[in-house]
């Protein structure tokens, strides 16, 4: 009879010394097959194996010995991927970058004519790909869009294809946007409307595979690979960027996260100024240096903004996109995280991976350590809503507001859970009043990085 729980909760939390050899072997194989930096760190690999062993009912050390004994098969990488990849994603993440896409890149592609091909590399559960479709359709008809999302994690891809999401995927997204782009389903689930599914496909893909993700081999116009390369080793980054250069049109754009821009600029891509998350491939003819393309600024002026979506967050004067980047300034040394911050960071990772019970347990531990901190109550409320436990979600969010009446994100979350229009209006009014009292450029906690002015603007947007 198969053992049901071979990995006790308190056993083997850290890799034993006698497993170091097999972990090193397996780590090298994970790096070669998947490119992941996390696969080389024994503690990350051990944690992934613990989760996989518990899930499949296999003794932990037997699993490690078996995987270390021979090269990883496709089935092995499929089983490991959900436990080694990071699924932190949500709709309309990083409004500044999305604003440049909507106001500058997509209008330029619309003027060029033809089909616009966009590749979301490392798309996780699909929120980014659908967000791109929603913004691109402001200036492009669906029939001119071809959006491909690829990821290593088959579990995430199944969710992406289904297109059903709960509260956790809408952090910082105002209710009117949710109503505009999604269909309401029972138990707090929202489904992407059919219009915004047109032209989107998802498929399993390894970024270390040198073949183009597009079956016909034609180049793409935009590649989004945000918060992916930071988890790769340098040799893997070189291989991925080589694939991107081959796949991307000479006049195309590579979009990365701010922390990844320095990784990319040394490998055949050059930034478009201070917003260095947007890069063009450098093309080198025989015996020539890379030719920097010149752009007419007036060709990139955005069209009038649609009423349904807010103005993009400020990203400087129009010419900033084309000026040389400012010299990097040394960042101040961060303070070490408190134990509560460590617990909540792990809780967020667990919640992103769908391990809600473990995430709630960590939130409870954080509450025990500091019962005056509203953050674990807020996070617990969002997780309860993800699970469809509406009353538990309301209770936790109300506790967060009780501890901190100025907790804007908690008021906003309570509005989405309100049983009637009057209650929803009250919570939204509270959120607006609090935002008006904040400095415009202050980042609102738990809002996905939005400033007070940006979030206030979102709350005033009416659905189409």
Least confident of 134-148, 253-267, 406-420: 253-267
Q: Specify the pLDDT at position 52.
A: 86
Q: Specify the pLDDT at position 437.
A: 83
Q: Specify the pLDDT at position 300.
A: 28
pLDDT at residue 137 greater than cutoff 90: yes
Same domain? 133 vs 256: yes
Same domain? 128 vs 253: yes
Tell me how many domains the chain contains: 3
**Token pair for 375:** 């953050």
Domain membership flag for residue 344:
yes
CATH, residue 355: 1.25.40.10
pLDDT at residue 130 greater than cutoff 90: yes
Same domain? 351 vs 219: no
- Exposed / middle / buried, residue 222 (Cβ in 10 Å: 0-12, 13-18, 19+): buried
Tens digits of residue pLDDT in 44-82: 788 888 888 888 888 888 888 888 888 888 888 878 877
Last residue of a domain, one of 56, 84, 112: 84
Same domain? 41 vs 146: no
Q: Specify the pLDDT at position 5.
A: 45
Q: Which residue has the tokens 């219009």?
A: 195
Domain membership flag for residue 353:
yes
Percent of the chain surpassing pLDDT 70 = 80
Domain membership flag for residue 333:
no
Question: Model confidence at 185, in pLDDT bands (50, 70, 90)?
Answer: very high
Q: Specify the pLDDT at position 108.
A: 93
Q: Which residue has the tokens 């309309």?
A: 92
Domain membership flag for residue 206:
yes
pLDDT at residue 324 greater than cutoff 60: no
Is 376 or 10 the better-scoring residue by pLDDT? Answer: 376
Same domain? 134 vs 254: yes
**Token pair for 173:** 């997204």
Question: Model confidence at 139, in pLDDT bands (50, 70, 90)?
Answer: very high
Q: Specify the pLDDT at position 181.
A: 94
Domain membership flag for residue 298:
no
Same domain? 137 vs 158: yes
Same domain? 387 vs 447: yes
Q: What pTM does this model have?
A: 0.60
Are 320 and 274 in contact by the 8 Å Cβ rule? The answer is yes
pLDDT at residue 105 greater than cutoff 90: yes
Last residue of a domain, one of 260, 295, 322: 322
What strands, in cross-sheet order, belong to the sheet with 200-204? 200-204, 145-151, 116-121, 220-224, 248-255, 278-281, 269-271
Mean pLDDT of the 348-376 span: 83
Mean pLDDT of the 135-162 span: 93
Same domain? 227 vs 269: yes
Domain membership flag for residue 331:
no
Mean pLDDT of the 81-109 span: 84
Question: Model confidence at 438, in pLDDT bands (50, 70, 90)?
Answer: confident
pLDDT at residue 325 greater than cutoff 60: no
Closest of 159, 160, 156 to residue 147, by C-alpha: 160
Least confident of 81-90, 269-278, 318-327: 318-327
> Strand runs (DSSP E) across 272-374, as ranges?
278-281
Residue 347 belongs to what domain range? 339-459
**Average pLDDT score, the chain:** 77
């Amino acid at each position: 009879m198969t053992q049901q729980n071979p990995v006790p909760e308190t056993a083997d939390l850290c890799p034993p010394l006698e497993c170091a050899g097999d972990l090193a072997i397996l780590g090298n194989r994970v790096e070669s097959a998947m490119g992941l930096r996390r696969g080389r760190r024994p503690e990350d690999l051990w944690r992934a194996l613990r989760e996989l062993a518990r899930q499949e009912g296999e003794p932990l050390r037997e699993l490690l010995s078996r995987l270390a004994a021979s090269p990883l098969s496709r089935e092995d990488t499929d089983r490991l991927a959900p436990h080694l990849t990071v699924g932190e994603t949500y709709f309309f993440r990083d409004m500044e970058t999305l604003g440049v896409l909507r106001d500058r890149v997509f209008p330029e592609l619309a003027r060029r004519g033809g089909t616009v091909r966009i590749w979301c590399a490392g798309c996780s559960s699909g929120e980014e790909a659908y967000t791109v479709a929603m913004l691109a359709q402001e200036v492009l008809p669906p029939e001119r869009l071809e959006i491909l999302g690829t990821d290593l994690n088959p579990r995430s891809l199944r969710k992406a294809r289904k297109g059903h999401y709960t509260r956790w995927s809408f952090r910082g997204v105002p209710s009117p946007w949710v109503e505009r782009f999604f269909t309401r389903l029972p138990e707090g689930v929202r489904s992407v409307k059919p219009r915004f599914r047109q032209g989107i496909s998802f498929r399993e893909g390894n970024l270390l595979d040198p073949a183009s993700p597009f079956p016909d081999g034609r180049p793409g116009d935009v590649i989004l690979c945000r918060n992916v390369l930071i988890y790769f080793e340098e040799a893997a980054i070189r291989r991925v960027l080589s694939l991107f250069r081959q796949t991307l049109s000479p006049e195309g754009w590579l979009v990365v996260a701010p922390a990844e821009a320095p990784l990319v600029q040394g490998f055949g891509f050059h930034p478009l100024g201070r917003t260095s998350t947007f890069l063009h491939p450098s093309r080198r003819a025989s015996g020539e240096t890379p030719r920097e393309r010149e752009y007419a600024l007036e060709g990139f002026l955005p069209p009038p903004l649609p009423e349904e979506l807010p103005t993009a967050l400020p990203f400087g004067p129009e010419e900033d996109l084309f000026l040389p980047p400012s010299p990097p300034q040394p960042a101040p040394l961060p303070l070490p995280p408190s134990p509560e911050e460590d617990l909540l960071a792990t809780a967020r990772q667990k919640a992103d991976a769908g391990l809600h019970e473990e995430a709630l347990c960590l939130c409870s531990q954080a509450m025990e350590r500091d019962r005056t901190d509203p953050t674990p109550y807020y996070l617990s409320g969002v997780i309860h809503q993800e699970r469809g436990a509406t009353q538990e979600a309301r209770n936790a969010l109300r506790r967060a507001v009780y501890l901190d009446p100025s907790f804007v994100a908690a008021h906003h979350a309570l509005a989405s859970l309100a049983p009637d229009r009057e209650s929803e209006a009250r919570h939204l009014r509270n959120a607006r009043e609090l935002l008006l009292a904040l400095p415009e450029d202050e980042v609102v906690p738990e809002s996905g990085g939005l400033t007070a002015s940006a979030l206030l603007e979102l709350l005033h947007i009416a659905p189409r």
